[in-house]
Every structure is written in structure tokens, then in C-alpha cells.
């Protein structure tokens, strides 16, 4: 197949995306496909591929200052001009804003080229954790109790009142439309709340505050609409933040997760349900917390999960006997069959 692989971009997760893109490119070429690598941040004038891929993921998360906020207009030229006319499928390996949120998907709809993963609406819904939680609530998908605050109405005292009334501390403060734990703080008491909200506001006009769920962390990968083996995530120190996500050796991954069979099947069913409630397609990953009382809580659905060396979907696929190359190829083939 003639495939265009889109990676990089201008979101805070640019480096993660490049790391995913580099691996996927190698895998698809190894399978004999032709791959044109496109960085949407570069517009029609694409960089040399070796140059684009010569970087390493820094172990610290990007600060707001480190984010390229201009350049989204280049995406138009990249999709319209740099993606070759004879492209049969586009592999979108972008994470976060402009890439995972339905916007690049919409541009590809204009081009009429099939692309991997979820469509425009499902991508946009899943990118917004507040909207996601409202839909989960309606559909009976368990999710931590929450409230939110908007930059347009930043009444911190009213927020404190809602938190105390609904769930108390510890609480988790996060921008609803970022990934990779960017801008997220676990707050142990009210005095730390305001700072955490300010940090999250650097990344988003809305801030989600959630009840902290103690216990274990489980994630369910989805391929072709089917749940893959569950992974338990055990950071050696602290929680699953940017550092623990992308620095090899800092987190233990247990695949398949040591949970009893019946619970595992139930969790996989909840994951598939959560995925379909948002209308997601192709592949993805659904994140959960699991407390000591045996309750599970869905945190979010990732419509373009990481495909880096430390990423979870490739680990889950491998536990199901699917190699990295097979996984990438199946994601592309699925995009041809379901759109
Ligand atoms: N309500 C919560 N209770 C406990 N831990 C949480 C909660 N929300 C987030 N976390 C921790 O923060 C990590 C990132 O949160 P998540 O909502 O999945 O956002 P993202 O992965 O998009 O940054 C989770 O993997 C988990 O370790
Ligand atoms: Mg997550």
C-alpha cells in the first residue's frame, strides 16, 4: 500500500508522536509498504526524514512555553499538498490537540483518503474528558465523581465548595483535553488546589477536578473493536506521570494483568462499551483505576494511543500473539474496511 504517516505536529506531545511515528514507519516498510512521512507542522515544505526522526523524548514534560502554539495553518498545506495524491491510507500518529481531536481527521475527510482510528466526532468527544464523562454517566460507564471550572468563570471558592460537597481530597486536577499527564496534579488538600488549577489553565480553558481513586491502574487496549489482554501499570515511584510514562525502566507493566478471570472479562466488556459509547473505531486504549473495594472507574479513552518503545498497546498486542509489525498493518487494513 501507499501510506502517508502523519506525525510530529504542534501539540505538547510532539516528541511522543515522533517516537511513535518512527517505529510505525519502520514496521510498515518492513512489511513492504511505501511510507511517506509527513510532519503537519512543516506545511508543504517537508523536512528530511532522518532529521525529523533524530531526537529523543525528554524525560520532563513540555512546559507551556515549550509548546508551539502557532503553525496550525501549516496543517492545511501538509494535508492538502504534502500528502501525495496516490496515497491509499493515512496512518495518523499524532497525539493531543490538532491530531487526536478530530481536526486532522476532518481535513482528511476533505481529501477523501481513508485514515486510521476513530472518525471526526468520536475523536473530538474522546479528546474532551469532561464531555466523555458526561456520556459515560448517561451510558452507565463507571467514572470518578467530578466537577469543573472554566477560565471564563474562575470562581475558586465556588469550586472548593463543589469539591467539598461532592468528593473532597485527595483530588485530581487536569486539563480535560491534554494527554500524557501534561498539566495534571494530584492535590492532597484544599490549600494546594488553586495552584494546581492555575497549572491546568495553562493548557486549557477548562479544568476538570476528579475524585482521586486509590488502588491499582489497569488499561485495556482495543484492536478492531476487540479488547486485548489487560495491562496493569505499576510505577516504581509516584503515579503514572510523564516521567514514568516515557522513561524506560521507571514503571513495571504486568501483561496480562494479575486479575481474576471473571473480573478481567467484565473489565474488557466495560472497555469495549466505553469505546463504543463515544463511537470510536479501529484501535484505542481505555484507562481505568481499580480500588480495594473492587470498583473500577474509567478515566478516559485514548483514540490514538502511543506506539513508542514503552507504549501499552504494542505490549497488549504482543501478549495476544500480535507482533508490532502485524499490529501496525492491521490498524491500516482496518481503516480501509470500516470507513
Ligand atoms: N481520578 C484519578 N484517581 C487516581 N489517579 C488518577 C486519576 N486521574 C488520573 N490519575 C492518574 O493520572 C494519570 C493520567 O490521567 P488520565 O486521566 O489518564 O490522563 P492522560 O493519560 O490523558 O494524561 C493516570 O494514568 C493515573 O495514574
Ligand atoms: Mg491516560
Tell me the average pLDDT across 136-152: 97
State if residue 287 touches ligand 1 by the CB under 6 angstroms criterion. yes
The confidence score (pLDDT) of residue 133 equals 98
The confidence score (pLDDT) of residue 59 equals 60
The confidence score (pLDDT) of residue 66 equals 46
Atom of ligand 1 nearest to the CA of 219: 25
Which segments within 215-259 are labelled E, that is strand?
216-223, 226-227, 231-235, 251-254
State if residue 172 touches ligand 1 by the CB under 6 angstroms criterion. yes
User: Is residue 63's pLDDT more than 70?
Assistant: no
234 CA distance to ligand 1 middle (Å):
13
In the set 306, 311, 329, 334, the catalytic residue is: 306
Tell me which H or E stretch contains 210.
Answer: strand 206-211
For 30, half-sphere exposure in the C-beta direction (CA atoms, 13 angstrom radius) is 13
10 CA distance to ligand 1 middle (Å):
23
User: Is residue 67's pLDDT more than 60?
Assistant: no
130 CB contacts (<8 Å, ≥6 apart)?
Answer: 146, 148, 176, 206, 208
Q: Is 329 known to be catalytic? A: no
User: Is residue 228's pLDDT more than 80?
Assistant: yes
User: Is residue 275's pLDDT more than 50?
Assistant: yes
Number of H helices, E strands in the chain: 12, 13
Q: Which ligand approaches the C-alpha of residue 239 most closely?
A: 1
Instruction: Judge whether 170 and 144 are in contact, CB under 8 Å.
Output: no
Ligand 1, pocket-test mutation among 61, 147, 181, 220, most atoms within 8 A of CB: 181
Closest listed residue to residue 277, CA positions, set 249, 316, 303, 252? 303
How large a percentage of the chain has pLDDT more than 70? 95
pLDDT tens digit string along 162-217?
999 999 999 999 999 887 778 999 999 999 999 999 999 998 999 999 999 999 99
- Grid cell locating 139: 451510558
Give residue 64's pLDDT band: very low, low, confident or very high (50, 70, 90). Answer: low
Tell me the average pLDDT across 24-44: 97
Instruction: Judge whether 133 and 301 are in contact, CB under 8 Å.
Output: no
56-60, 147-151, 289-293: which has the minimum mean pLDDT?
56-60
Give residue 57's pLDDT band: very low, low, confident or very high (50, 70, 90). Answer: low
State if residue 179 touches ligand 1 by the CB under 6 angstroms criterion. yes
pLDDT tens digit string along 291-301?
999 999 999 99
Tell me the average pLDDT across 93-99: 91
User: Is residue 311's pLDDT more than 50?
Assistant: yes
User: Is residue 310's pLDDT more than 90?
Assistant: no
Give yes or no for a cis peptide into 182 (omega within 30° of 0): no
The confidence score (pLDDT) of residue 317 equals 97
Q: Is 285 known to be catalytic? A: yes
Q: Buried b / exposed e across 24-55, counting CB within 10 Å, b at 16+?
A: bbebbeeeebebbbbbbbbbeebeebeebbee
pLDDT tens digit string along 151-174?
998 999 999 999 999 999 999 999
- Give CA–CA dist 274/268, Å, rounded: 10
CA-to-CA separations, 273 to 80, 142, 220, 227, 257, in angstroms, rounded: 35, 11, 12, 10, 20
The confidence score (pLDDT) of residue 68 equals 52
Give residue 65's pLDDT band: very low, low, confident or very high (50, 70, 90). Answer: very low
87 CA distance to ligand 1 middle (Å):
37
In the set 128, 177, 300, 334, the catalytic residue is: 300
CA 29 to chain centre: 25
The confidence score (pLDDT) of residue 180 equals 73
The confidence score (pLDDT) of residue 58 equals 65
301 CB contacts (<8 Å, ≥6 apart)?
Answer: 126, 132, 274, 275, 278, 280, 284, 285, 286, 287
**Residue 333 burial (10 A CB sphere; 0-12, 13-18, 19+):** middle
- Grid cell locating 74: 501549516
In the set 180, 211, 311, 335, the catalytic residue is: 180
Tell me which H or E stretch contains 110.
Answer: helix 103-111
77 CA distance to ligand 2 middle (Å):
31
DSSP assignment of 134-161, as one string? HHHHHHT-----EEEEETTB--HHHHHH
The confidence score (pLDDT) of residue 182 equals 82
Amino acid at each position: 500500500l501507499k501510506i502517508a504517516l502523519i506525525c510530529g505536529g504542534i501539540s505538547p506531545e510532539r516528541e511522543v508522536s515522533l517516537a511513535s511515528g518512527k517505529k510505525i514507519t519502520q514496521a510498515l516498510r518492513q512489511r513492504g509498504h511505501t511510507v511517506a512521512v509527513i510532519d503537519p507542522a512543516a506545511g508543504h515544505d517537508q523536512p528530511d526524514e532522518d532529521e525529523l526522526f533524530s531526537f529523543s523524548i525528554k524525560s520532563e514534560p513540555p512546559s507551556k512555553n515549550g509548546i508551539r502554539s502557532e503553525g496550525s495553518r501549516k496543517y492545511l498545506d501538509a494535508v492538502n499538498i504534502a500528502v501525495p495524491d496516490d496515497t491509499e491510507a493515512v496512518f495518523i500518529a499524532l497525539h493531543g490537540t490538532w491530531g487526536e481531536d478530530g481536526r486532522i481527521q476532518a481535513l482528511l475527510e476533505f481529501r477523501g483518503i481513508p485514515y486510521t482510528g476513530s472518525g471526526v466526532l468520536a475523536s473530538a468527544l474522546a479528546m474532551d474528558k469532561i464531555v466523555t464523562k458526561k456520556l459515560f454517566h448517561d451510558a452507565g460507564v463507571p467514572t470518578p465523581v467530578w466537577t469543573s471550572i472554566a477560565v471564563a468563570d474562575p470562581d475558586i471558592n465556588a469550586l472548593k465548595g463543589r469539591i467539598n460537597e461532592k468528593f473532597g481530597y485527595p483530588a485530581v486536577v487536569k486539563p480535560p483535553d491534554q494527554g500524557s499527564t501534561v498539566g495534571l496534579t494530584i492535590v492532597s488538600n484544599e490549600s494546594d488546589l488553586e495552584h494546581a488549577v492555575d497549572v491546568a489553565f495553562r493548557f486549557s480553558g477548562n479544568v476538570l477536578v476528579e475524585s482521586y481513586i486509590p488502588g491499582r491502574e489497569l488499561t485495556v487496549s482495543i484492536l478492531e473493536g476487540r479488547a486485548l489482554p489487560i495491562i496493569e501499570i505499576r510505577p516504581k515511584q509516584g503515579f503514572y506521570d510523564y516521567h514514568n510514562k516515557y522513561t524506560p525502566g521507571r514503571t513495571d507493566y504486568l501483561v496480562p494483568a494479575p486479575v481474576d478471570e471473571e473480573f478481567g472479562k467484565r473489565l474488557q466488556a466495560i472497555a469495549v462499551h466505553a469505546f463504543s459509547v463515544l463511537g470510536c473505531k479501529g484501535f484505542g486504549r481505555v484507562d481505568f483505576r481499580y480500588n480495594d473495594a473492587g470498583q473500577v472507574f474509567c478515566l478516559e479513552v485514548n483514540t490514538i494511543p502511543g506506539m513508542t518503545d514503552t507504549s501499552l498497546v504494542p505490549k497488549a498486542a504482543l501478549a495476544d500473539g500480535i507482533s508490532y509489525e502485524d499490529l501496525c498493518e492491521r490498524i491500516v487494513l482496518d481503516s480501509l474496511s470500516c470507513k
